[in-house]
Chains A and B, each alone.
Chain A
Amino acid sequence: MKIFALLMSILMGSLLIYSTDDMPEWGDPRSPASTHVSPRYIEKTMEETDVPNMVTSVLADYRGYDTLGETSVIFSAGMACILMLRRKRK
């Protein structure tokens, strides 16, 4: 089992490294991740929300729905632990 796991992880690692050939360079300001909607968030955060911290304004205002889902994720994790571990044995 250990030899199999080692071979599988080496194979998967080499496939992933082969796929980094198409990825953007490190520190490229014209990569696709930095050019679609992110310049709009950087430019408009002061005039639309008056909050200098871009991460907070995107997290709480522009993408507020995702933060609602995430809060419910952590709440349901707490509920799952309560339901599993607080049981009375009869």
Chain B
Amino acid sequence: MITRYRSVIVATLCRILAPFLQFYALYVIMHGHSSPGGGFQGGVILGASFIMLIIALGTEETRQRMSVKANDLLSSTGVFIYGGIGLACLLLGANYLDYSILPFPGASPVKARYLGMLGIEIGVGISVVAVMLSIFSDLLGSEDPSEEEDDGVHSQQI
């Protein structure tokens, strides 16, 4: 349980900076095909933007932006997208994870492999975001007073 950062300058600047971080993370995921990057790298940057919001604004305000239930759902959605694309390739007649058979409108088999790769990178990125935020906030401790062993300290400030 973390409270809001005591300095006004730090809290305001982190709130201003967070959308630019998320935009850059989206750029890194989407341009993974032509420049260094990809699913894991962009997912870690996006997770780092949420961790910065927890440190600057405190746990309650960040939980209004990304609730616990949404976090848990997102982490399994990422793996589901990855396995789902592979299963779709299997149901259409080719091997598992053989993207050239996917029926994207107006794409040659080579272009279908390009688009299939983009789909699984998005799935990987979603899963990495959710797990980064989940591990960090679990290590901090939960907000429910009945779950915590009494250390004597209930709310701290980084």
Contact = CB atoms under 8 A, between A and B. Distances in A.
A67 B147 CA distance: 36
B131 A77 contact: yes
Contacts of B130: 78
Contacts of A77: 131, 135
A25 to B, nearest CB: 27
26 contacts: A49-B113, A50-B110, A50-B111, A51-B34, A51-B113, A52-B34, A53-B32, A53-B33, A53-B35, A56-B38, A60-B38, A61-B113, A67-B120, A68-B82, A71-B78, A71-B123, A71-B127, A72-B79, A75-B79, A75-B127, A82-B72, A85-B139, A86-B147, A87-B147, A88-B144, A89-B147
Interface of A: 47-53, 55-57, 59-61, 64-65, 67-68, 71-72, 74-75, 77-78, 81-82, 85-89
Interface of B: 32-39, 72, 75-76, 78-79, 82-83, 86, 97, 99, 110-111, 113-114, 116-117, 120-121, 123-124, 127-128, 130-131, 134-135, 138-139, 142, 144, 146-147, 149
